[in-house]
Chain A
Amino acid sequence: MKVVIIKYNAGNIFSVDYALRRLGVEATISGDADIIKSADKVIFPGVGEAETTMNYLREHGLDNVIKNLTQPTLGICIGMQLLCKSSEEGGIVECLGIFDEVVKKFVPNESIIKVPHMGWNTVTADPSSPLFKNLINDPYFYYVHSYHATVGKDTIATTDYINQYSAALHKDNFYAVQFHPEKSGKVGEQLLKNFLEL
Chain B
Amino acid sequence: MLAKRIIPCLDIKDGQTVKGVNFVNIRSVGDPVELGAEYSRLGADELVFLDITASHEGRKTFKDLVRRIAENISIPFTVGGGIHEIGDVDALLCAGADKVSINSAAIKNPDLISEVAKGFGSQVCTVAIDAKLDESGEWTCYLNGGRVATDKKLFAWAKEAQERGAGEILFTSMNHDGVKQGFANDALRVLSESLSIPVIASGGAGKMEHFKDVFTEGKADAALAASIFHFHEIAIPDLKKYLRDEGIPMRIV
Contacts and interface: CB of A to CB of B under 8 A. Distances in A.
3 smallest CB-CB distances across A and B, nearest first, come from A140-B251, A120-B251, A120-B3
B30 interface: no
Given A11-B93, A160-B1, A185 B75 contact: yes
B71 A21 contact: yes
A119 B123 contact: no
Contacts of B71: 18, 21-22
Interface of B: 1-3, 5, 40, 45, 70-72, 74-76, 93, 96, 98, 120-123, 167-168, 196-198, 221-222, 251, 253
B221 A119 contact: yes
A-side interface size class: 35 or more
Contact of A119 (B74, B196, B222): B222
Contacts of B98: 12, 15, 183
Given A115-B196, A118-B123, A119-B222, A142 B70 contact: no
Nearest to A144: B123
A19 B71 CA distance: 7
A193 to B, nearest CB: 12
Of A118, A142, A144, A182, which is in contact with the most chain B CB atoms at under 10 Å from its CB?
A118
21 contacts: A11-B93, A14-B70, A19-B74, A22-B71, A47-B121, A47-B123, A108-B196, A114-B196, A115-B196, A117-B2, A119-B5, A119-B222, A120-B5, A120-B45, A140-B3, A140-B251, A144-B123, A180-B76, A183-B76, A186-B253, A189-B74
